[in-house]
Structure 1
Amino acid sequence: MNNTKKGRQDHRLDSAMKKTKRLLFGMQGTDGFLVKLLIYGLLIGIGFVYLFPLLFMGANSFKSLDDLLNPLVNWIPSELYLDNYKRAFSVLDFFPLLIETLYVTVLPAVAQTAVAALIGYGFARFTFKGKNILFVLVLATFVIPPQVTMIPRYLFYNELDILGRIQAFLLPAAFGQGLNSAIFILIFYQFFRMFPKALEEAAQLDGAGHFRIFFTIAIPMAVPAFIISFLFSFVWYWNETYLASIFFGDALTTLPIELEKFVATYKKMFPAEMGLSGNQLNEGIKMAGTMLTVLPLLIVYFITQRWFVEGVDRSGITGE
């Protein structure tokens, strides 16, 4: 009798330990509480690192000078102070400059995405002499820093008379030599390699040529790769200030370039003279200018977030 009770107790204890272990560590195919806690803890920590600067800028951009100087006001301003944005708008000349920025970023991004897709498809679906050498050369363009080729490119563009014009960005993108074009070519190469050979053979039996197969079958299947490539290309062209300032000079400019000149431009427009203390530049105005520069990218991301996440998930690309 005692042995039977002891056996039942051992069985209950063993069952409870298994349930506890299942709850904490999970089973095959499921995650336990500790695993989920670790994963969500890491995600929250990484998310905070990325979101903190944005939240800090947003909070300070709505603060008046009194709030900025008040140590009791940390995150929430005492009032919704919009004068910072009004001044940042006027300093940046926002809407005309936004149109000009889109002009010098969207067109090269579209050209780069289209050309990278065509080159990636050629490397993935065709076999030709010297293919491996050409592919290595394409990847080498990403390894070589752009500062190394900047002077030869500047002299070459000067001979072509395209300095100060969008062609300084558009022509390299159209020939597969835009900003980080090698990454996008590799993305399309990996994506088109997964293209089923049977579909291509069936289309050829129906009389379809290579270009028709590319436009009617390959492109619809590679929509995630197009979304990822365009968004990354758009962001990189938007944030490029070094090459843009050299190749465009004073003829063209962008919001990030003007943000670098924000302090000097503000002091010219709002000189702090004759006792006009309200004209002095402060952190709130600087943060407002930075938020205005980042805002278009945030809007694009929120609009395309669903397709972007789906594209990353389907193509297995993590980006950078």
Structure 2
Amino acid sequence: MQNFAGKIVESDAYKKIKKILFGMNEKDGLLLKILVYILLIGIGYVFLYPILRMVVESFKSLDDILNPLVNWIPTQLYLDNYSKANDVLNFFPTLLETLYVTVLPSIAQTAVAAVVGYGLARFTFPGKKIVFALALMTFIIPPQVTLIPKYIFFSDLNLLGSLNAFTLPAISGQGLNSAIFILIFYQFFRMVPKSLEEAAQLDGAGHFRIFFTIAIPMAVPAFIISFLFSFVWYWNETYLASLYFGNELTTLPLSLQQFVATYTQMFATGAEADVNKINEGIRMAGTLLSILPLLVVYFLTQKWFVEGVDRSGITGE
């Protein structure tokens, strides 16, 4: 009897340990949680390490950079790196110009993609499938193929050197990756129940009123996703911006590309050239200043961004 009771106690203890380690009844066990946390910490480290290293290096003086004993914690918060980076980037005027170049095309692209997506989702007309296929082809075809013809076309229309090189294609549904946003709105509007529109039509509402009073309020997540992705893509676009704008307009990413040359021209000349020679701290300060607005936008819109991704089913890029 004692041996039998001991086996029962041992069996109960084994079940408790098994339940804790492996889980039961759709509850995750301790081993699975540990594995998940290890993966999350590893992935987070890969993404956060460059940013943390950038922040640390940007606050290091030249002595700290040359000192092998100073790794993660600088001996002092050296702000002169940011002062020089601010002067090189001409930060605030360039930031305003970057927002001008970024926000207006993003708004135009989002609005036009919503109209086109709604039309494709709700109306039937001859050649609808062809139009939809052509819209998708604009994304499938590599942009390098159409770069030279587009540049010549814009040159003939006198669009080069102005924001029209970005806004007019966005208004015509040919902005940066517009096909993706058209597809997003197309799929989203297809999920809206037609009974709502039919009820509005019985009340005398026309297609425009239905679009503005029913479709748009229900498609807020799609608008958030489309605008934020457009904002980021237009912000980071440097090749087309340098090709179309020339010296008329500039952005923070474009200024960052010329950071070393501009710094050398401004500071590393004259008798103190060796002292003012650019170092990693100044480079990191300039890089951090150039991405800081995007980080601020993300932290301010994180709630709506995550909600929009969740509701629209978009995984991003």
TM beyond 0.5: yes
2:160 touches 2:244 (CA, 8 Å); kept in 1? yes
2:283 maps to which residue? Answer: 286
Which TM-score applies when normalising by structure 1?
A: 0.95
1:72 maps to which residue? Answer: 69
For structure 1, the residue ranges without an aligned partner over 5 or more in a row are none
Matched letter for residue 304 of structure 1: T
1:295 maps to which residue? Answer: 292
- Distance change (3 Å), C-alpha of 1:127 and 1:17: farther
**Pair 1:240-2:237 in alignment:** yes
**Pair 1:270-2:277 in alignment:** no
2:79 maps to which residue? Answer: 82
Question: Deviation of residue 285 (structure 1)?
Answer: 0.4
The aligned runs of 1:171-320 (5 Å cut-off) are 171-320=168-317
Deviation per CA, 1:137-187: give whole Å up to 9, x if none: 211111111111110110110111010100100011111111111111111
**Pair 1:157-2:149 in alignment:** no
Which residue among 81, 88, 110 is the counterpart of 2:107?
Answer: 110
> Secondary structure of 1:295's match?
helix
- Distance change (3 Å), C-alpha of 1:155 and 1:27: same
Matched letter for residue 16 of structure 1: A
Greater mean alpha carbon deviation, residues 130-139 or residues 11-20: 11-20
Distance 2:281 2:165 in 1: 36
Stretches of 4+ aligned residues off by more than 6 angstroms: none
> Secondary structure of 2:275's match?
helix
Distance 1:174 1:25 in 2: 55
Question: Deviation of residue 16 (structure 1)?
Answer: 3.4
Deviation per CA, 1:37-85: give whole Å up to 9, x if none: 2222222211211111111111100100000000011111110100000
2:51 maps to which residue? Answer: 54
Distance 1:112 1:237 in 2: 11
Distance 1:275 1:249 in 2: 32
2:15 maps to which residue? Answer: 18
The aligned runs of 1:93-108 (5 Å cut-off) are 93-108=90-105
Distance 2:49 2:289 in 1: 17
2:24 maps to which residue? Answer: 27
Question: Deviation of residue 275 (structure 1)?
Answer: 4.1
Deviation per CA, 1:231-266: give whole Å up to 9, x if none: 111000000000110011111111101111011111
Greater mean alpha carbon deviation, residues 113-122 or residues 275-284: 275-284
Distance 2:109 2:218 in 1: 19
Which TM-score applies when normalising by structure 2?
A: 0.96
Distance 2:189 2:8 in 1: 56
For structure 2, the residue ranges without an aligned partner over 5 or more in a row are none
- Distance change (3 Å), C-alpha of 1:95 and 1:196: same
Distance 1:12 1:195 in 2: 58
- Distance change (3 Å), C-alpha of 1:275 and 1:300: closer
> Secondary structure of 2:102's match?
helix
Deviation per CA, 1:196-236: give whole Å up to 9, x if none: 12211111111111211111111111111111111111000
Matched letter for residue 70 of structure 1: N
- Distance change (3 Å), C-alpha of 1:199 and 1:45: same
Distance 1:189 1:26 in 2: 42
**Pair 1:39-2:36 in alignment:** yes
Provide the identity percentage. Answer: 70
Question: Deviation of residue 22 (structure 1)?
Answer: 2.8
Which residue among 137, 143, 147 is the counterpart of 1:146?
Answer: 143
> Secondary structure of 1:278's match?
coil
Question: Deviation of residue 300 (structure 1)?
Answer: 0.3
> Secondary structure of 2:268's match?
coil
Q: Pairwise CA RMSD of aligned residues?
A: 1.5
1:131 maps to which residue? Answer: 128
Distance 2:256 2:28 in 1: 46
Distance 2:196 2:251 in 1: 44
Question: Deviation of residue 32 (structure 1)?
Answer: 1.9
Matched letter for residue 233 of structure 2: W
